[in-house]
Amino acid sequence: MDILVSAIVGDLISRSASFVISKYFQQQPGIDRILRRLQSVLLRIDIIVEEAEARIITNQGMLRQLKMLRQGMYKGHYVLDALRFQAALDEEKVSHSSSALSKFSPAKRLRFSRTGSGSSNREALLFGTNNNMREELQQMVDTLEDTVAGMKEFLFFLELYPRILRQPYGTYLLLDNCMFGRQTEREWVLKFLLCPNVTPDLAVLPIIGPRRVGKSTLVEYVCRDESVRGHFSMILFFPEGSLKDKGLFDLKGNNISGLVRHQNSASQNRLLIIVELAEDISEGTWRRLKSSATSMTPRGGSKIIITSRSNRIVNLGTTEALRLEYLPQDAYWHFFKSLAFGSTNPDEQPKLATMAMEMALEQRQSFAGARIIAGILRDNFNPRFWRTTLECIRAYKQTNLLIFEQHPTVRLRDDEPVYHRRSEKSSKHFLICNIYRSDSENVPKISVQDILLGCGGTLPCGEFEALAWRSSIPPYYNYTISCKMQAPQPTVGRKKRVHQDGEHLI
C-alpha cells in the first residue's frame, strides 16, 4: 500500500514537471521523449531505494546493487533538476538581475559523474550541442532502465529483511542525523568487525582516502553501533602521531587509559584497535603493535582498523582495503538540496533551486560547506538573500583564486589559509587559518554564520575563533575555525591563471 501511494503522488509530480520540460524542449525533437522516460524510470528507482532504506539489509551483494541504484538515482535527478529549473526560469521571463545567472546556469555547465575504478570524480565533457545532449541522455536512460529491469531478484529478497522502526521524519532531518552516502561502506566495516576471524591471526582492515573525506568519522560512527560495542571487550584509538611513543605498545600497562574509547566487561576478551596514520607506518612499529595486541588477547578475535591517505597500507591488510572518495557531484547535490530546502519543495522555487545548484558546485563536495551554507539558506527563502549569498560565494572563490591560484575548498582540505569577506557590503576580510575538530563542550560564542551574515557584532581584533558547525552524528565533533583580521593582498600578473581556474567545475 505504501508503495502504491508513493507511486500515485510521484506520478502527479511528474506530470506537472513534464509540462514545463516539454515546452522548453518543444523545439528540440526527441529530447522531451527521453526526459519523460527518465522521469518514469526515476520514479521506479525512488520507490525501490526508499523501500530498501527502510529495511535492515545484510547481504553484501544486495548492498552493492543498492549503491549502484542510488548512484543512478542521484545522477538522473541531477540532470532532471538542472534542465527543469532552467526551463522554469525561461518560462517565467525572469528579471535582468536574475537572468544574469543564465551564464552560470547548471544546465549549461552540466557534467555526468563517472563511477568506476579510480576517482569517483571523473566526469564527461560538457554538453556541447543538442545532439550530444540527446546522446548522453539516451545512454543514461537506457542504463537506468536496464538496471531496474534486473532488480527482480533484489525485490524478492528485499521482502525477507526486517523493517527499520523509525519516525517519518523529513529527508533533511534524516540526512542531518546520518552519514550521508556511506551506507554501503558502513555495512562493509560492520561485516568486517562482527564476522568471526577465518584464522587466529589479527584481522586488519585498511581504509584509504584523501584528506577530510570522512575516514575517521566513518570508523567512529560504526564503533558507536551497539552490536560493535557488545562484541569487543575494549576499543582503543591511536590518533595520528601517537604510535611514536614506544611505551604505548605495552597494551597491558596503565599507560593506555587515554586511548580507551569503550570497555565492556561482559564481552569476550576481544580487542578492537583503531589506528590513524597520516601516511605510512614503519615495519618495526607495526610488528610491535600486533605483537602486543596478540599477547593481550591470546584466544583471538581481535581486529585492527587502520586509516591513512597512503596506498602503502594496503599491504598491511588481511582483507580487501576500503577506499573512500569524495561524493560525486550528483549525489552531493541531493545532499545539499535536501539540507538547503528542508521541507520546502525545490520544484516550487526554480529561481532558488538554480542558485542553489551553483552554490553546491562551488562547495567542491565539502560536507562542512554544505552544512554551513545550507543552514544559512534554509532560514531565509527570500530570493534576494539567496542571490546575495551566491555573490558572496563567487567573490570568496575569486579572491582566493587571485591570491593563491587555488580553490578555497581545496586549500582548506590541505589545512592552508583562505580569505573570506564578512558580508556582501563589507570591505572587511578575515583570514581562515585552519579548521579543527574537538569533542569539547567549550565552543566559541560566535559562529561562522554570524560572521558571514554580519550579525555577530564587532569582530575581535587580531586572532579569534568561530564555530563552523556541530555534527549531529557520532562522534558529535564540534568544528571550529581559527581566524584573524587581515586584508588580502592580490598578486599582480595572475589574472589569466585565475580566469582559467575559474572555468574548472566540479
| Residue of 122, 119, 126, 147 lying closest to 82 (CA atoms) | 126
**pLDDT at residue 249, rounded to an integer:** 59
**pLDDT at residue 246, rounded to an integer:** 56
308 three-state secondary structure:
strand
Cβ-Cβ contacts under 8 Å for 76 (sequence gap 6 or more): 38, 41, 42, 45, 140, 144
pLDDT at 487 over 80: no
- φ, ψ for residue 119, nearest 5 deg: -65, 135
Lookup result for grid cell 520546502? 344
User: How confident is residue 506, by pLDDT bands cut at 50, 70 and 90?
Assistant: very low
Position with higher pLDDT, 354 vs 279: 354
Level-2 CATH architecture, domain 183-323:
3-Layer(aba) Sandwich (3.40)
pTM, whole model, 2 decimals? 0.75
CB count within 10 Å of CB 500 equals 11
User: Using one digit for the tens of pLDDT, what is the confidence trace for 231-245?
Assistant: 998 899 988 877 765
Q: Contact 190/230 with Cβ under 8 angstroms?
A: no
Instruction: Give the whole-angstrom CA distance, residue 466 versus residue 479.
Output: 9
Instruction: Give the whole-angstrom CA distance, residue 414 versus residue 226.
Output: 34
Q: What is the DSSP code (8-state) at residue 129?
A: S
Q: Domain extents for the chain? A: 2-175, 183-323, 363-502
User: Using one digit for the tens of pLDDT, what is the confidence trace for 394-449?
Assistant: 989 999 999 999 999 999 988 899 998 776 555 677 888 888 888 777 888 888 88
pLDDT at 125 over 90: no
Cβ-Cβ contacts under 8 Å for 401 (sequence gap 6 or more): 407, 498, 501, 502
End-to-end CA distance of the chain: 40
**pLDDT at residue 409, rounded to an integer:** 92
pLDDT at 336 over 90: yes
Instruction: Give the whole-angstrom CA distance, residue 502 versus residue 496.
Output: 10
418-421 and 463-470 as β-strands: parallel, antiparallel, unpaired?
unpaired
Instruction: Give the whole-angstrom CA distance, residue 471 versus residue 332.
Output: 17
User: Using one digit for the tens of pLDDT, what is the confidence trace for 207-235?
Assistant: 999 988 989 889 988 988 888 998 998 89
